[in-house]
Structure 1
Amino acid sequence: MGPVENNVRSPDGKHNSAFQNHMIAMSGEFVGTFLFLFFAFCTHTMAVQQAPDTGPNGANSSTTVIYISLGYGFSLLVTAWTMFRVSGGLYNPAVTFGMVLAGQLPWFRALLLLPAQIIGAMCAAAVVSAILPGPIAVVNTTLAPTMSVARGVFLEMFLTIELVYTVLMLAAEKHKGTFIAPIGIGLSLFVAEMAGVYYTGASLNPARSFGPCVAARSFPHYHWIYWIGPLLGAAVAAGYFRFAKYFNYEEANPGQDSAAGDFDNDK
């Protein structure tokens, strides 16, 4: 999840062209987004259908919310870990937007990944709808009766800040722990889902909200908040990332990425 390099030598000694790299990355984003949301939607559907209890006004109970959150968080963890070498494992237009604003992804590559993510989400929702009994609309992101549209926008914004900043600091920013960044990224989505599923559906991802709406042929009149909120959150996260980088955050708290021996040698 860092700056894209073209014409990188493969293990067999051959060079991929820039076009080949873009196509491979697009395929990775489509496959990764499909797998991430397929398993998440399946888990979400099962959790709702098998819930032993409900909250007030027939809403999901806190137990069901935790199960749904686990499904999305761990599905992202696994698929990001398996696919990040292919495409970066973004699966989310908001994350892609944040990466561009943070200077970690070229605009041209981002414009190619966006349709792959959206189509992957649509296909995941369609396949789940075809395979599992019951309406796919149960996985739609909707506002709780007590939530206004304005509150929904800002909650989605803050939830997305958590996810995008985690991606930027653990994956885009290279360090000794980057190889286990998918764990932190999956856990960040899990935390955000727990905080937001009941209130907004905790989208954090325009493609995640768009796909089920297409499959269910039903869009809430406030569907736009699941685009504006996450994109605003991505912009805020990218802004602070650039701020921290500009002022050399590494010097504010040195030695945090050093092994004991490295730290001793720096004294």
Structure 2
Amino acid sequence: RDNIIGICGEFFGTVLFLLFAFAGTQTAYLHSPPVENRVGAPANTSTLLYIALSFGFSLAVSAGIFFRISGGLFNPAVTFGLVLVRAMPPIRGALLVVVQLVGGIVAAALVSALLPGPLTVGTSLGGGTSVARGLFIEMFLTSFLLLTVFFLAIERQRATFIAPVGFGLALFVAMLAGAYFTGASLNPARSFGPCVVMGNFQGYHWIYWVGPGLGSIASAGFYKLMKLLGYETANVGQHGPEIEMAASTV
């Protein structure tokens, strides 16, 4: 029963998050096409800011709604990271990945049906970014998001209740940094859904899977290292009472 509730929550949460994020992106590109993939291609910073705000705020609100139902993940890379640090059983993780991918398709289809004009919410390389660079940009951006999830949501601390806000801010900052170069996916479901609806997969579409996957592995490794070193005792006042009590005996 709990798994069914969590899976349903994750599906509807993913649809809600990406529906409004995609709608914001579609609106932003009405009079400003996506960045061309050539060196020196002009960047419309107001458009990129509009898109980053759409994704960041949509994630913060959607994660806040579904945080106590499914965790408010909405991202296969985040789910993979939680499985790596053993915060989620692999079977549950696999089920969530499936519904997240389906949710991405449904959200893209809804935006395509509701809003006029061709769908322009896909991710693509821009500004002359090579495939190799795009891969590592996606890796580092995803690592940033995953570290936010690990240290705000998994760890019991005083700031855990505002974790969804942290998720949204992390995505907002990551998109400001990377949207011009790769579209700042950080989320296979976010890139996969529009490709399915548009029927167009770029030859480098794989970087939006491998990059976030590598980011999950890197951030999980750093998190496990910090746990191994006992980071909880470094700044005791910021942790929950159980951790503070344990640290006081060291």
TM-score by length of 2: 0.91
Change (3 A) 1:31 1:258: closer
Gaps of 5+ in 1: 1-19
1:145 positional shift? 4.3
Aligned to 1:103: 86
CA contact (8 A) 2:129 2:181 kept: yes
1:250 positional shift? 1.3
CA contact (8 A) 2:142 2:186 kept: yes
Change (3 A) 1:34 1:258: closer
- For 1:131-185, what per-residue CA distance to the aligned partner results, in whole angstroms no more than 9, with x for missing partners? 101111x111000141000000000000000101100100111112111111111
Q: Give matches, 1:40-79, under 5 Å.
A: 40-51=21-32, 60-79=43-62
2:170 equivalent among 185, 188, 205: 188
| Aligned residue pairs, count | 243
Aligned to 2:107: 124
CA contact (8 A) 2:157 2:240 kept: no
- For 1:46-104, what per-residue CA distance to the aligned partner results, in whole angstroms no more than 9, with x for missing partners? 0111449x899775501110110000000000000000111111000000000111111
1:25 positional shift? 0.8
Aligned to 2:123: 141
1:21 positional shift? 1.0
Aligned to 2:18: 37
CA contact (8 A) 2:104 2:189 kept: yes
Q: What SS does structure 1 have at the residue aligned with 2:68?
A: helix
1:256 positional shift? 2.8
Root mean square deviation of aligned Cα: 2.3
Q: What SS does structure 2 have at the residue aligned with 1:119?
A: helix
CA distance in 2, matches of 1:57, 1:133: 30
CA distance in 2, matches of 1:215, 1:60: 26
CA contact (8 A) 2:109 2:197 kept: yes
Aligned to 2:213: 231
Amino acid at match of 2:186: L
Amino acid at match of 1:97: F
Gaps of 5+ in 2: none
Aligned to 2:184: 202
Q: What SS does structure 2 have at the residue aligned with 1:86?
A: coil
CA distance in 1, matches of 2:159, 2:237: 14
- Percent identity for Structure 1 against Structure 2: 52
CA contact (8 A) 1:164 1:234 kept: yes
Change (3 A) 1:123 1:43: same
CA distance in 2, matches of 1:213, 1:158: 23
2:64 equivalent among 69, 78, 81: 81
CA distance in 2, matches of 1:113, 1:250: 30
1:92 equivalent among 75, 88, 113: 75
CA contact (8 A) 1:48 1:60 kept: no
Amino acid at match of 1:172: I
Q: What SS does structure 1 have at the residue aligned with 2:117?
A: coil
CA distance in 2, matches of 1:143, 1:89: 28
Amino acid at match of 1:223: H
CA distance in 1, matches of 2:200, 2:104: 15
TM-score by length of 1: 0.86
Change (3 A) 1:91 1:59: farther
Aligned to 1:220: 202
